[in-house]
A and B are shown apart, each in its own frame.
Chain A
Amino acid sequence: MTQLTRAQETPLSTTRSPNRRPRRPSVRTGVPSGGPWHGRLADPLFNIVAIGLLGLAIVAIVYPLYFIVIASVSEPAEILNGNVWLVPQGFTVEGYGRIFSDPDILRGFANSVLYTLVGTAISVASILCAAYALSRKDLYGRTFFMLLFILTMFIDGGLIARYLVVRDMGMLNTMWAVVLPGAIGVWNLIIARAFFENNVPGELRDAAQLDGANDFRFFLRIVLPLSKPLIFLMIMIHLVANWNAFFDALIFLDDESKYPLQLVLRNVLIQSEVTAAGGSGALDSYAAAQRIGELIKYGMIVVSSIPLLIIMPFMQKHFTKGALLGAVKN
């Protein structure tokens, strides 16, 4: 009964707008008469709104993904007629059959695996090394080097100059053009540095120095084993980013045999839709091509996401924690 009047005496309520009149509990019902926003119903109402909102968000995220999966094994005519909603109709795996026998797609897949592994190895190794060096307060020129990195977050030479530089280095049409230019994200460097600063005690280094360990040894034998969550986070971030990257490949690669999967996907998923909608061919083969084309599109979305689905569970444990780690520090 007196809950509300007491609430108004707390410092909390001083931030309220002064023109709000104090509300008195209704004598007859015993329920505070502030309406649902302030009365006893406020919390249940909040819970209903919260559950409703989150439920809606979850459905909005899950349903399109689920639909893609069932559409990839449904007869395209059934999708066309609007019969596919919750379960696959006219079950077929023809799309997947075509995908796994298409040399372009398979080569794209293989290229992506290669680029992703090499790119991740380069990025993670150089970020960890640099971040550790920058985390050492006794590094002479530390502020200068930090500035050198941080400035690049705000100033940028632009797409054209970047392209010309990569071209001048003779990297066009090679794996290096895909893997190197974006290898080091300053944001990740900052996260890693913060981790080292907070998790590698200075006493440990003094002790190691007594034992005659130099900086390399200390970094390899003591710092890295202490930093498993960070290493894990960095590997995950880069695996996902490299796997999903397409733009550098688009501008730096001409040779189709070097295309990563995302670029093959782009050509199949996005380029064809527009041309297919505009053009027309010989009727019969056109219809057949349309049919299989649809199946392949749905199927490729699923196939390209499989590697990410595989690492998702591993990620889950560390990822939020890691993301928080970076977030809180900044």
Chain B
Amino acid sequence: MTTQPTVQHLVPAPRHRVSRLRRAVRSWQLYVLLTPAVLHVLLFKYWPMYGAQIAFRNYNPADGFFGSPWVGLDHFQRFIESFQFERLIANTLSLNALGLLLAFPVPIVLALVVNQLQNERFKKFTQTVLYSPSFISVVVVVGMIHLLFSPRSGIVNNAIETFGGEPVFFMGSPEWFRPLYIGSDIWQNAGFSMIVYLAALTAIDPSLHEAARVDGANKWQRIRHIDIPGILPVITILFILAIGNLFNLGFEKVLLMQTDLNLPTSEVIQTYVYKAGLQQAQFSYSAAIGLFNSLINLTLLLTFNWVARRANQSSLW
């Protein structure tokens, strides 16, 4: 008699063709666990998505998201025709494309090199040092740039003057904005991104390396013929993701690094959205610009995913 309930529980439900609804009701506690997170995405992700339609309306607070008058593509048209348009697109694209091009390979190289280290303690130490800057806040990193590259007291200008050069006002020069942004980005994030590649490298079958070593392959050859092919799928996927974020990268940091003087290169789409929208309260106009930006992102992501899938079978989906 005592074994009867046991059997019922051990054998999964479909024996009696329990209806889906009953099954769902029976595990109501799981839905309770799920509730906070679902509420969160509904409130803070889906509601704003729905609210993004103000890009096609003339938003006024009294009428809210739905009541405001419909104006179609007026805001988009205004943005495309505005004198800002070309500069914003050019700045956004060149900052992010350059950043991607220069910053993307660095963690891969670091991972390949660190992976070859024999001494476990040195390996661990190196890893820790390399990823430690990623725990520093963007505010502090930008503050450090301001201090270290300051025209009066910055150590960089001190060094330049020591070697007989003229001090440079780095944060006030449009031409220095991109190097500083990309350089500090590599400084801060390369070590952390390296971890993913290191993980992929440890997943490579060690017997491949053994065999190669027996056959006399040196480290360069093993990296080229074993390590790189081994992590290529990971590289591809991360590259696609980075492309999908091409118009999205590090906007908070751009905002922090902006000075009145470097605006010619540092004004990007998203900082413009922030200023036009939140500082000047042109809600609908800036929402339209933001939507325009997201559409470009999504298009890039889908395109590159498609290309990658055709090229070497590793893609996001």
* A interface residue numbers (CB < 8 A to B): 3-4, 6-7, 10, 12, 15-16, 37-38, 42-43, 46-47, 50, 53-54, 57-58, 60-62, 64-65, 67-68, 71, 76, 79-80, 82, 84, 125-127, 129-130, 132-134, 136, 138-141, 145, 148-149, 152, 154-166, 168-169, 180-184, 189, 206, 209-210, 214-216, 219, 240, 243-247, 251, 262-263, 265-266, 269-270, 273-274, 277, 294, 297-298, 300-301, 304-305, 308, 312, 316, 320, 323-324, 327-328
Q: Is the CB of B143 within 8 A of A269?
A: yes
Task: Give chain B residues whose Cβ lies under 8 Å from the Cβ of A4.
Answer: 216
Check if A12 sits within 8 Å of B287, measured CB to CB: no
Q: Which of B12, B44, B50, B252 makes the CB contact (< 8 A) with A181?
A: B44
Segment of B84-92, B93-101, B131-139 in the binding face: B131-139
Contacts A129-B34, A308-B135 given; does A37 touch B220 at CB 8 Å: yes
- Asked whether B294 lies within 8 Å of A155 as measured between CB atoms, the reply is yes
Give the distance in Å from the alpha carbon of A7 to the alpha carbon of B226 in the complex. 14
Contact (Cβ within 8 A) A297 B147: yes
With beta carbons under 8 angstroms apart, the residue of B36, B142, B286 that contacts A160 is B286
- B16 close to chain A: CB less than 8 A: no
| Chain A residues with CB under 8 A of B55 | 158
- In the assembled complex, B31 has its CB within 8 A of some CB on chain A: yes
A-B contact pairs, 27 of them (CB 8 A): A10-B212, A15-B225, A37-B220, A38-B221, A46-B116, A58-B130, A71-B155, A80-B152, A82-B161, A126-B37, A145-B38, A156-B45, A156-B48, A157-B52, A158-B48, A158-B273, A160-B287, A215-B33, A216-B33, A245-B137, A247-B252, A270-B139, A274-B171, A294-B147, A298-B147, A323-B196, A328-B203
Considering the complex, give the chain A residue whose CB is closest to the CB of B279. A251
Q: Which residues of B contact A214 (CB under 8 A)?
A: 29
| Given known contacts A139-B27, A160-B287, A12 and B49 CB-to-CB distance under 8 angstroms | no
Cα of A197 to Cα of B152 in the assembled complex, Å:
56
B40, B191, B200, B219: which contacts A42 (Cβ < 8 A)? B219
Q: Which residues of B contact A240 (CB under 8 A)?
A: 135
Question: Top 10 closest A-B pairs, CB basis?
Answer: A157-B48, A269-B143, A130-B37, A3-B216, A244-B137, A158-B290, A82-B158, A42-B218, A161-B51, A215-B29
Q: Are A273 and B277 in contact (CB under 8 A)?
A: no
Q: Is the CB of B144 within 8 A of A68?
A: yes
Q: Out of A58, A68, A132, A163, which one reaches B33, CB within 8 Å?
A: A132
Total count of chain B residues near the partner, CB < 8 A: 112
Contact B171 A273 (CB under 8 A): yes
* B307 interfacial by beta-carbon distance below 8 Å: no
**B 142-163 binary contact with A (CB < 8 Å = 1; else 0):** 1110111011110100110110
Q: Which residue of A61, A139, A251 contacts B130 across the interface (Cβ within 8 Å)?
A: A61
B17 within 8 A of A: no
- Are B298 and A154 in contact, CB atoms less than 8 angstroms apart? yes
Q: Does B215 touch A at the CB level, under 8 Å? A: yes
